[in-house]
Structure 1
Amino acid sequence: MSDSSPQPLSLHQRILNDIQQLILTGTWQPGHKIPVEHELMKQYNCSRMTVSKVLTQLAHARMIERRRKSGSFVSRPHSQSAVLTIPDIKTEVAALGVPYSFEVLHKARRKATAEEREMLGFERAVPVLEIECRHLAGERPFCFEQRLINLDAVPEAAKETFEETAPGAWLLQRVPWTLAEHRIRATGAEARSAKLLGIDRGAAVLTIERTTRSAQSTAITFVRLIYPGDQHELVATFSPERVGRPAQ
């Protein structure tokens, strides 16, 4: 029997994730000076090469700016942006004051279809992991999730059971990303989503579709989140000085 337990993060990935989260959550604002290399080396008990690789990767992703003799700083946006923050589903449910849970309904490895390759920007057939989950607020269905994970980009996902952590949160903890494109639509519930959400077929639902990409513009994951229309809202924050990124 193979061991399906999650693999521990490398030190490089842990440092990268920590800094990304400080930037993406706004804890470190644009212009904030990143701790110098020897401070990060001491904090994480690691080599200078490891720290340098992390900072180089963040610079390539345009999340930080490295200035000679001055240090590294959180990048400032070059134009005014409309910021749409999409919280993690577990966080949304916790805000309601009810227990959160989720269940994996379907998980299968296969090749991407022609339509999916076009959507994700691939010229060849790539292996993907297809996952369907239902998220619950207490005993009430809260969201139906349909997701594709690019196994060329995240091969370890093929062995993950997703029994302890939902796919979106699992990806956010392990995979660096720099760009998320999303589409929001009001639609009518199709038969399967209506049944899983406990609503009538054709009832109003809010559908969020998001493709997340790496620094090399490779698609990491595509997700479709379907919420009952009368139970969910999106809040947009407009600011000339902050750029927000949604969760995976």
Structure 2
Amino acid sequence: MKTEKDGTLHNRILGDIERRILSGEWPPGHRLPFEVDLAEQYGCSRMTANKVLTQLARAGMIERRKKSGSFVSQPVAQAAVLQIHDIEAEVKSLRQHYSYRLLARSRRAATEADRQRIDVEPGTELLDLTCLHEADGKPFCLEQRLINLNCVPEAADEDFSRSAAGPWLVSRVPWNAAEHRIEAVSANAELAKMLQIARQTACLVICRRTWGSDGPVTAVRLTYPGERHTLVARFEPGEAERG
């Protein structure tokens, strides 16, 4: 059972390592202390040290190599097309400070136009969120999200003023299908103002929908200034292509 002390130590170790990486004290390629050394240094269990390193690896800040240890990873300005990625982890992988702002939150009935976005019937109760993810105090990604409250009623009790809805949904609502659509758009006046870019700047848009056992869960539109973001997909040839 996790105790308050375990949680405090976890956050302390995580914060110390993140600061060293983000400040450049530990540059790319630097080897981190081994689990046993971290446990001894902080007076914690090896399990706590392992969980910290696992979290850093998931965020893309370190790379764990079997038998060799953990190393600070190289910064990457890219996201995997077929993964549901964490924007905070994206920003931190670039060695930049992440911050988040909720711009608008409303609870409303779905319109006919919403049917195309989230695949629900008009009148379905939705939570409509608009928020801005920032890197070093500058706009990184505009998030526009709809949550199906018939499927996730507990979302109505969350204000999402301090953290984004994406990680909250992933941790609480199992999904069994997802769809990604990628678009290129030119920034209109409103979008340009939100992202602090010139009008007509090319932007990359990722539209994602997820479904759970009870139906559509969420639909999100993520808009990035095009020159700041790259999408990557890795795949293997099918059986027919291998032969």
Give TM class, smaller chain. 0.5 to 0.7
2:231 & 2:116 partners in 1: Cα distance? 28
1:111 & 1:186 partners in 2: Cα distance? 29
Shift of 1:84: 2.4
TM (norm. structure 1) is 0.61
Bigger helix fraction: 2
Shift of 1:124: 4.3
| Partner amino acid, structure 1, of 2:161 | E
2:101 & 2:165 partners in 1: Cα distance? 11
Say yes or no: does 1:229 pair with 2:226: yes
Contact kept in structure 1, 2:109 and 2:122, CA below 8 Å: no
**CA 1:136–1:180: 2 relative to 1, 3 Å:** same
Unaligned 5+ segments in structure 2 are: 1-79, 239-243
Contact kept in structure 2, 1:88 and 1:169, CA below 8 Å: yes
| Partner amino acid, structure 1, of 2:130 | E
Q: Which residue of 1 aligns with 2:65?
A: none
Q: Which residue of 2 aligns with 1:202?
A: 200
| Partner amino acid, structure 1, of 2:121 | E
The equivalences for 1:38-77 within 5 A come to none
Contact kept in structure 2, 1:85 and 1:235, CA below 8 Å: no
The equivalences for 1:36-185 within 5 A come to 84-185=82-183
1:220 & 1:140 partners in 2: Cα distance? 30
1:85 & 1:109 partners in 2: Cα distance? 28
4+ residue segments displaced more than 6 Å: none
1:214 & 1:222 partners in 2: Cα distance? 12
Q: Which residue of 2 aligns with 1:219?
A: 216
TM (norm. structure 2) is 0.62
Higher relative contact order (CA 8 A, sep 6+): 1
Unaligned 5+ segments in structure 1 are: 1-81, 242-248
Task: String of CA shifts for 1:33-66, please: whole Å, max 9, x gaps.
Answer: xxxxxxxxxxxxxxxxxxxxxxxxxxxxxxxxxx
Task: String of CA shifts for 1:130-150, please: whole Å, max 9, x gaps.
Answer: 000000001111000100000
1:175 & 1:220 partners in 2: Cα distance? 8
Contact kept in structure 2, 1:83 and 1:238, CA below 8 Å: no
1:162 & 1:236 partners in 2: Cα distance? 30
